[in-house]
Amino acid sequence: MTKLRLALACAVLLAASPTALAQDTQRLRTDKGEVIVETLARNLQHPWSLAFLPDSRMLVTERPGRLRLVDAQGNLSEPIKGLPPISARGQGGLLDVALDPNFAQNRLIYLSFAEDRGGGRNGTSVARGRLSQDGTRLEDTQIIFRQEPSYAGTYHFGSRLVFGRDGNLFVTLGERNDLREQAQNPGNHLGTIVRIKPTGGAAPGNPFVNREDARPEIWSYGHRNIQSAALHPTTGELWIVDHGARGGDEVNIPQKGRNYGWPVISYGVHYSGQKIGEGTRKPGMEQPVYYWDPSIAPSGMAFYTGDKFPAWRGSILIGALAGRLVSRLETNGSRVTGEERMLQNLGERIRDVRQGPDGLIYLLTDSRQGRILRMRPAE
């Protein structure tokens, strides 16, 4: 075969198979119309969370311990300096990132992460620091919260950060897996949601501030491993999605002082197939708003309020790791009225879901070569 014929044959083969560009841009069907999913940025190692700055750039965390800026063209900055030491083992590492409600004035950002506590023990901690004007480092970084007790394990750290409308910070915390029974003990932070002041310490109005046998930071308890949390755009209430074991992923609206049952009640079973606790109901323990069985392994969550997908307005978009999809939940008040499972053809573990200031949807894929994906209407 001549060089010319070989070149022509290669060109035909390339035209008949997906090019790099085609792989990065996919047209997919949903119940409400077709969407385009395109790669905005790549080469992120297990990206965990993203947050939009006022200028529409993004902060993105990588679980091994890097925080980067990403511009509108998908260009990644060098890792931002000044982060606290990160313990990146197992499911631990650098986790969520959130902007202070007054970021435009104070440039404060908050990070949740697994922290080495010595002696092989670790735990989920929250730090805050001031992003320098040039975006290259965090200044005056300080730890404002530590989950207690610490533990020599590598599972179930949580952890999402959500500011309430009153300016206080909700932090979701896992029960560290082996210590699951302690999720029923408000004397520690395991398997809880805590509500703290932006400088640290229990927020005013917390349910256990006057109880000697409970941690004053706790808002609710009896949780397993919450990696999805967002404020309802109308009511301002916190909504969360908790990981089940084999089945029993739960949507809840955590009310202060309430017990959400883990590991006494669940709609799932242990990975061994054994029954969990006492069944699905018990007096004094809350029922979920919605649950999955089998599990999808939820991570990341956003209420859609934009105008680019008008048929989705009011829906909750939730990423799924084991499910490798995005679940769109339709709601009516405090009820979930329907579910659509989208983007299965991507075949990606979805770690985070965010609505951008442009009304488009941004997703993080959880892998060693993780990507930031942008979803827009096909029209």
Residue ranges per structural domain of the chain: 23-377
- Phi and psi dihedrals of 13, rounded to 5? -60, -40
Higher-scoring residue by pLDDT: 347, 4:
347
Options 2.60.40.1180, 3.40.50.300, 2.120.10.30, 1.10.3720.10; CATH of 23-377: 2.120.10.30
Model confidence pLDDT, tens digit, residues 73-120: 999 999 999 999 999 999 999 999 999 999 999 999 999 999 999 999
pTM over 0.85, yes/no: yes
CB 120 within 8 A of CB 111: no
Contact call for residues 329 and 322 (beta carbons, < 8 A): no
Per-residue pLDDT tens over the stretch 131-159: 999 999 999 999 999 999 999 999 999 99
The residues that bridge with 144 in the sheet, in sequence order, are none
pLDDT (average), residues 232-254: 97
The residue whose two tokens read 């202070």 is 100
Residue 80 DSSP one-character state? P
3-state secondary structure (DSSP) of residue 215: coil
Per the annotation, the verdict on 156 as an active-site residue is: yes
Position 24 scores a pLDDT of 86
327 vs 226: CA distance, rounded Å: 16
Q: Hey, what amino acid is at 70?
A: V
Catalytic one of 46, 156, 189, 223: 156
Tallying the residues shown for the chain, one arrives at: 379
SS3 290: strand
Question: How confident is the model at residue 19, as a pLDDT?
Answer: 32
Q: What is the pLDDT of residues 301-353, one digit of tens each?
A: 999 999 999 999 999 999 999 999 999 999 999 999 999 999 999 999 999 99
**Angle CA 281–330–223, to nearest 5:** 35
Mean pLDDT along residues 39-66: 97
Residue 351: which of 328, 325, 369 has the closest Cα?
325
CA of residue 175 relative to chain centroid, distance = 16
Q: What is the mean pLDDT of the chain?
A: 94
